[in-house]
Structure 1
Amino acid sequence: MKTKILALAAIALFAIVSISCSTSDSEPVSEVVPPVTVGNTGDLRLFVIDTAKVNTITMTGTNETTILNRKVNSNSYIGSFSLNNDASKFVYVDNQGGMVNGLYVQSKSVRVANANGSGDMAIYTAPANTNTVSNDIGFVKYGSSKIYFTTTTQTTVGGAIGTIVKLNSTNFDGTGLLSENYNAAPLSVYKADLTSDGKYLVTMRVAPNIPRIEIMDRTGDNGGGTVIGQEDLTADKERGSAPIFSYNNKFVYYAYAESQSLKVRIFDMTTKTWESKTIATNFTPTSFFMTISVASDNNRGVVVVDSYSNTPTKSYVFNLAGSSFTTFNNNDKTIAYIKAF
């Protein structure tokens, strides 16, 4: 799954980029619905993305239960995944592919389902690829009044590749599709997140030679976007995860490794300040990929680490208010992301 995503992102980075807006007026920022303020104070809920399945597990990695299975063949996989603010529903990117009349055909869609996997339905399907046009879906976000997702369209003409990136929104049933200026680099169509009201965008993008976390007010500069916070991932913040917003839109989080410690970096959207929390010590992998999710209480969460070996990925369940953490090995190496609530 990661190979497919990274391959497209690499192409997009070097493409001739033309950021697209809709032909109609841009969609205004959705009316803010009061977000979760306290969050889940009960048992931590963990949703595991395992290739083409969504499973649930306990905070110790036990009692794995499949709630959704989209596997048709070995080409099936789930891309981005997002819970709504009370974890009663989720939205995800469904990727399928197979031979049709001797030709390989891909199908990519945005789908929504209830938290137990029932009511699963497509609300958007990307146009079919052709010999000269390739379409993809990046990240998705279950917002407070809209569902958001990015799309890329790559067109090859005479050996030149042009890329159009859009940030799209729909009603929860897929109606009312609107497309807007994405306000960010094509590489970050996968490594990004929105606040639930759609106002703020956080991305991991390339600032000359090093990754940069950038937080933008999409309504600033008359819709051009205004940066309200940024931080470069220098050598002392090795291979940071993609950044995420908290459920209540008050914080930005990303995970990183520093001096054999696993840490979480936190940006306060009110004070515009950064702080770090150590969640694990004796962190020894030298080559790895990681993802992070923080629960709705803005305290507990999970970091999944893939050390690029044949061994299963490893989960670190943490508590930002204390120094304790638990770890467990996932059931295989295909698990690269776990969503916490």
Structure 2
Amino acid sequence: MNANNNTTIGGIYEVCIGVTDAVSAIQYWQQFGYQIGKIGELTATTAYQLYGVNSPLQAIRLHHQNTDHGLIRLMIWQNPTSAGLGVSSMKVKGNRWATTLTADILGILNHAEAAKAIGENILYTQPHWEVIYNKDKKSRPFVEPLVGVREMLLLQPLTRQVLFQRFGYNVPNYGHINDHAPLQTSQFTHVGIVVQDDSKEILKFYEEVLGLLRVRDDVETTYESSLAGREIFELNPEEKFIVTTFDDPRSSQTDFMAVRSGRLYIIRFPENITLKSRFADAQPGSLGMCLYTYKVQKIETYFQRVRESAAKQITEIVSNEFAENSFSFVAPDGYFWTLVESN
């Protein structure tokens, strides 16, 4: 079931967000450079066929400049099934979040502090320094340039975001900042999920069935090695997690300057750590970040691959709220996915 040249998958196409007030959601995401695109709807019958949710649905796709990935789909359910993950721990199975590049992380921190000061339900971290590449290289501060990022967590009832700003380097195809956006941010550059699987067997689905490119495999983050990782994922002393990323196949495994955004980050905790499961609060019907989609060519081929895999709850191919051929499934790790056919 390995990928072949007759099918194509890109980077993460959309982050789907369940909301109750479309106007407020649009106003929020406009600050990050998003603009209204297609608007559509489904009857309860079709929504149940595609998403397993017995509720009428209205949807709004938000675009970010001319990018072909990292978009947003606002999902307004008449009968939401869950309040979603909300402002809850990142250290749970079922967790979803989306990451954005910014040119002004302090400006975003200013907004977070102002929101907290007026009593809004918000949780955030300070922008911690993190070295992403060449971690072992020793540099001399004030003599040699520092190469790394500042990254922060930002949780609100309907959004779960990580934001980062680069210092000392640039990756041309990894995030395109909208300089005219108030918060000077890019489209979503990558998204994440949390799993537990010491065998790594469930990771094979993304590589062998969906045909994604596995990169940065088995990158370890410990309590001691990363202040950002420690705070974002609430690591205790001597705890760790392991990161594997899956890319658009056009990306690169070896040349970080050639990599593309649209990555899927899989945060894998050891099985000897007790993690709660929140899958029911992070699937269609839920408020907040509830679904990721991929855009593919030849959707019938992907449908057959998924049917032959260990995936569950596989729907038929139906027309989604934007009149696109789509089908949904639950991957072997428990996460709900939808594939959308390219026009």
TM-score by shorter chain over 0.5: no
Question: Which structure is higher in strand share?
Answer: 1
Query: Comparing both structures, which one devotes a greater share of its residues to helix?
Result: 2
Q: Which has the higher contact order (CA 8 A, sep 6+)?
A: 2
